[in-house]
A = this chain, B = another copy of it.
Amino acid sequence: MARPTPLSGFPEWLPDGRVVEQHVLDTLRRTFELHGFAGIETRAVEPLDQLLRKGETSKEVYVLRRLQEEGEDTDRSGQLGLHFDLTVPFARYVLENAGHLAFPFQRYQIQKVWRGERPQDGRFREFVQADIDVVGAGDLPYHYEVDLPLVMAEALGALREIGVPPVRILVNNRRVAEGFYRGLGLDDVEAVLRSIDKLDKIGPDKVAALLVAEAGATPEQARACLDLAAISGGDATVVDRVRALAATHGVESDLMEQGLAELRQLVEAAAVRAPGVVVADLKIARGLDYYTGSVYETVLVGHEQLGSICSGGRYDTLASDGKQTYPGVGLSIGVSRLVSRLISGGLVRATRGVPAAVLVAVTSEESRPASDAVAAALRARGVPVEVAPTAAKFGKQIKHADRRGIPFVWFPAGDEDGAVDQVKDIRSGDQTDADAATWAPPAEDLHPRVVPAT
């Protein structure tokens, strides 16, 4: 087999990169569990007809076929595809298991997903998502729309210490946008949202032209939509500015008022619980066409061009079985996008790529059992240990440790009377007597850590 080359869009990490990814995943999991989210996993596949319920994603789906089936009918019924997100499988899981779940049901789910898109920077064909959602049976109180982005703020904030940049969570509310547009007299809300969504890409003049051409707006209505989109801020004055703008245009809307009350509650709670993180941004339109209340996007400060690393929103109908409706709210972190930037951008580094804190040297193959016994004693007290692969010269064994980043090398005493084990910190060269029943490395050396690359 010739040396294989990577597949574009299917990222893999070297062991020290995996240490970074694993640290991120462990941190997210810990935060999610502190907030009471239960971990679940769903199978990687769903029936194709379920994956295609939203027509616009059809081009991204990977369809599965057993090799021996090839050449058979390509009838879609019964065909399976790889899931492209964790929301569709979660909605199906809720319906399938509703009788066994206690509602509101809070779950986190950290899994790979697949999309057959053209790979680009930060956009992969296989990537890890970390989702939290809460789903109610029949109803779901608004406060979860406040709570969930704040859980994500805490989870991402817990990564600050390893060198992850601060995040900014941008929030908007479907009710505000829809109420405002309808109050202006624009009833094709989806068309307005699609135009506003292009603001960052094509600028306000072209968006104004689009609003006129595609959403049936007058130039004045288009201007009002752009004025709304220009409003943003991290405190409740945002609400006052929207209201003032609405008054200017004679807009009166109960729907907008409900949305503004919600937005105020979110911004005010966020100012207390995660100061400086959450910003109301009325130009956020992506997702407003299918979410029904709050909508969220998250940028890494200083890496805005990477796009959102954590998005989501509120669905009044996450799932429905005809009898019962399940509203939900959730967010999804693009873990691979984040980790890829951390590693490729040189923002963080792992202190080592192997778990072992200690390499136990082997004096001769005959005395390997003595080295194994030292290793067992250290492991019994939680110290990760490797035993040297061969009884090479000690200089070579130390080099072996050094190449792996293992900080300590242990020398078993051997059989001479009064001989005692010794351990060497190969970074400083310090070598001291040691007892495998009591010695431990400093806490910061026990496991690989992830630190800012500086």
Contact = CB atoms under 8 A, between A and B. Distances in A.
A321 B63 contact: no
A82 B447 CA distance: 33
Interface residues of A, number: 102
Interface in A45-60: 45, 47-48, 50, 52, 58-60
A81 interface: yes
A231 interface: no
Contacts of A320: 1
Interface stretch (A190-198, A304-312, A380-388): A380-388
Interface in A15-71: 15, 18-19, 21-22, 32-45, 47-48, 50, 52, 58-68, 70-71
A232 to B, nearest CB: 25
A368 B61 CA distance: 43
A376 B1 contact: no
A14 interface: yes
A112 B82 CA distance: 13
B384 A36 contact: yes
A102 B404 contact: yes
Q: Point out which of A4, A22, A106 has the most chain B C-beta atoms below 10 A from its C-beta.
A: A4
Contact of A18 (B34, B41, B52, B273): B41
Given A10-B43, A100-B14, A1 B321 contact: yes
A96 interface: yes
Contact of A67 (B81, B98, B383): B81
A92 interface: yes
Interface stretch (A202-210, A352-360, A417-425): A352-360
Given A38-B353, A126-B43, A355-B38, A65 B65 contact: yes
Contacts of A44: 44, 112, 114, 126
B5 A45 contact: no
Contacts of A7: 43, 45, 47, 80
B3 A96 contact: yes
Given A35-B385, A67-B116, A368-B143, A12 B43 contact: yes
Given A63-B64, A70-B74, A355-B37, A45 B4 contact: no
A272 interface: yes
A436 to B, nearest CB: 14
Contacts of A143: 365, 368
A66 B322 CA distance: 32
Contact of A41 (B12, B50, B62, B447): B12
A390 interface: yes
Nearest to A116: B66
A316 interface: no
A1 B95 CA distance: 9
A219 interface: no
A379 interface: yes
Nearest to A115: B66
A431 to B, nearest CB: 21
Interface in A328-383: 353-356, 365, 368-369, 372, 376, 379, 382-383
B390 A2 contact: no
Nearest to A100: B14
A319 interface: yes
A104 interface: yes
A141 B37 contact: no
A175 interface: no
A394 B403 CA distance: 60
A97 interface: yes
B13 A382 contact: no
A315 interface: no
Contact of A379 (B35, B48, B112, B385): B35
Contacts of A376: 273
A21 B40 CA distance: 10
B63 A65 contact: yes
19 contacts: A3-B95, A4-B92, A7-B43, A12-B42, A12-B43, A13-B40, A21-B41, A34-B355, A35-B384, A36-B356, A37-B355, A38-B353, A44-B114, A44-B126, A52-B67, A60-B66, A64-B82, A143-B365, A272-B369
Q: Which 3 residue pairs across A and B have the least CB separation, nearest first?
A: A36-B386, A66-B116, A36-B356
